[in-house]
Structure 1
Amino acid sequence: MSAVSDTAPRLAAPKPRGGIAQSIADSLVVARRNLIRMSRIPEMVIFGLIQPIMFVVLFSYVFGGSMNIGGSTDPDVYRNFLMAGIFAQTVTFATAGAGAGIADDMHRGLIDRFRSLPMARGAVLTGRTLADLVQTALTVVVLAIVALLVGWRIHEGVPKAIGAFALLLLLGYAFSWIGALIGLSVRTPEAATSGGLIWLFPVTFVSNAFVDSSQMTPWLQHVAEWNPFSATVQACRELFGNPGVSESTAWPMQHPVWASVIWSVVIIAVFRTLAVRKYRSAA
């Protein structure tokens, strides 16, 4: 009896994509997955909107009349001074949520499943941070509407205002990589939330966001002026045409737009590298 061997035709292997193309495609898939998840849990978005709205109302109407901005204690002046700080605080506080989300994926073993797939190593984190950026942009839009209702106005035209919002989103995206690193470094989502807020409070409050930094003690004023958060706040005030333009001689306060871009790019470069390295070794 003769043995008949049937050899199945070999399928042509798909042409491999380049590293950058694969990373972009995988990142967009992960981002879509996270956006779908957010849409199915609307309370995540709702609670993210409530906090900044509360800050606007509380700071505007509780502290507005007692703040001295450029020699004026007019609450309307303070509201316009305040909003750049509230916008910046909103995009940075989203960092805690990003860290908690990644820590939750780690806790449930989802990160391990992603690591077993033939996908770019940084795609999981990039997709997550992009999805958080979309949620942050939605929050900023709603917050801007609320700010307009309480009396905030822009005075330098729409193009410059768009530039200011772009700087805010760039800062938020940069800080989300810090949240990603924290989320990969802790064991529970609760720890990621706490760890994300511990460092955010001094960063946002030791700045020019809520008070004029010139009224601080000299050493604290120096820290506030070189704070990356302060650079973005100052840049937004200039682009919005709001009061509070600093007379400081510190370089970030003299060139806040450039300082904001440089700080954000440096933070992304450093913490994305650290987060991807941590992701590769995380278990």
Structure 2
Amino acid sequence: MTTITAPRPTAQGSRQSYVVADAITMLRRNLLHMIRYPGLSVFTIVGPVVILLMFVFVFGGTLGAGLPGVDPAGGREAYLAYVMPGILAITIAGTAGGTATTVSMDMTEGITARFRTMAISRAAVLAGHVLGNTIQAIIAVALVLAVGVLIGFRPTATPLEWLAAFGLIALIAFSITWLAVGMGMQAKSVETASNLPLLLVLLPFLGSGFVPTESMPAGLQFFAEYQPFTPMVETLRGLLLGTPLGWNALLALGWCVLITIIGYVWSMVIYERKSVRA
């Protein structure tokens, strides 16, 4: 375990000045943990790449030919462009499993309990996990996107649209990670913590990530259109490929803010409750 040096105790009024330093310290710990145990990081990249290759080269010709206004002869290329934003969403969601697992490990192995006895900001302990996973998610998205480019993905985004797309990716990762932290703290075991975030990975499949929502049965279509990943995927698709954004950008931002608030409050309530018990 990486050694954590607690800041010198101070009066409550000046304690807030250490929050940023504490968060940086915890971020460094989590980045070192990611380097020393690369298995989860590799899986978050390999998994989406395998899904991308399978859907494009096995199903892409047929699925692409069914997209509105697409020449059947160019179905695979059209489907690659369509599915890439959904694959990026799955990549982000996939990193939540690693966060929930590491948080649960810290809880079950007593590391978090040790932090609670030290002069470290409680929010910073959790923020280290969040910031570390957000960085990991951005790196994973960049690598998966590079694979997409290698097999023929050709985005039409301007530099400003690229900046907006990566900003949205970072915001999605930040919000999903806070939710994953809550899952990891709530879970009774590491095995449970690793399985709970799988629900997040399924959501892009049940939205517009792989097929248009219009092609779904009525009940599933309603769910697909109003679940959080659909506006996120559609916003990424609009930024990278120039499709109409409509209200999707505002909805995506709204969902990110809401998920962040829920994840943060949930995590802090559990952390404070367990601190009192300790």
TM-score by length of 1: 0.87
Structure 1, unaligned stretches of length 5 or more? 1-12, 246-252
**Match of 1:248?**
none
1:258 aligns with 2:255: no
**Match of 1:134?**
135
Report how many residues are paired: 263
1:51 aligns with 2:47: yes
Cα distance in structure 2, aligned partners of 1:33 and 1:201: 26
Cα distance in structure 2, aligned partners of 1:22 and 1:218: 53
Cα distance in structure 2, aligned partners of 1:219 and 1:20: 49
Cα distance in structure 1, aligned partners of 2:14 and 2:154: 46
Residues 53 and 112 (structure 1), Cα distance of their counterparts in 2 relative to 1, 3 Å cut: same
**Match of 2:197?**
196
Deviation per CA, 1:66-117: give whole Å up to 9, x if none: 1121142411000000000000111012111110110011111101001111
**Match of 2:164?**
163
Percent of counterpart pairs with the same letter? 27
Cα distance in structure 1, aligned partners of 2:10 and 2:227: 49
Query: Which residue type is aligned with residue 226 of structure 1?
Result: Y
**Match of 1:230?**
230
Residues 78 and 20 (structure 1), Cα distance of their counterparts in 2 relative to 1, 3 Å cut: farther
Q: CA deviation at 1:254?
A: 2.7
Q: CA deviation at 1:48?
A: 2.3
**Match of 1:279?**
271
Q: Could you tell me which of 252, 259, 272 is aligned with 1:267?
A: 259
**Match of 1:7?**
none
Query: Which residue type is aligned with residue 268 of structure 1?
Result: T
Q: How does 1:1-283 map to 2 (within 5 A)?
A: 18=14, 20-67=16-63, 68-72=66-70, 73=72, 74-197=75-198, 199-241=199-241, 254-282=246-274
4+ residue runs over 6 A deviation: none
TM-score by length of 2: 0.88
- Given that 1:106 and 1:184 are in contact with CA atoms closer than 8 Å, whether structure 2 keeps it comes out as yes
- Given that 1:81 and 1:242 are in contact with CA atoms closer than 8 Å, whether structure 2 keeps it comes out as no
Please state whether the residue corresponding to 1:156 is helix, strand or coil: coil
Deviation per CA, 1:164-217: give whole Å up to 9, x if none: 1221221121111111111111122111011221x2244222100011111112
Structure 2, unaligned stretches of length 5 or more? 1-8
Residues 258 and 18 (structure 1), Cα distance of their counterparts in 2 relative to 1, 3 Å cut: farther
Cα distance in structure 1, aligned partners of 2:30 and 2:131: 9
- Given that 2:40 and 2:98 are in contact with CA atoms closer than 8 Å, whether structure 1 keeps it comes out as no
- Given that 1:154 and 1:161 are in contact with CA atoms closer than 8 Å, whether structure 2 keeps it comes out as no
Cα distance in structure 1, aligned partners of 2:152 and 2:239: 17
Residues 20 and 210 (structure 1), Cα distance of their counterparts in 2 relative to 1, 3 Å cut: farther
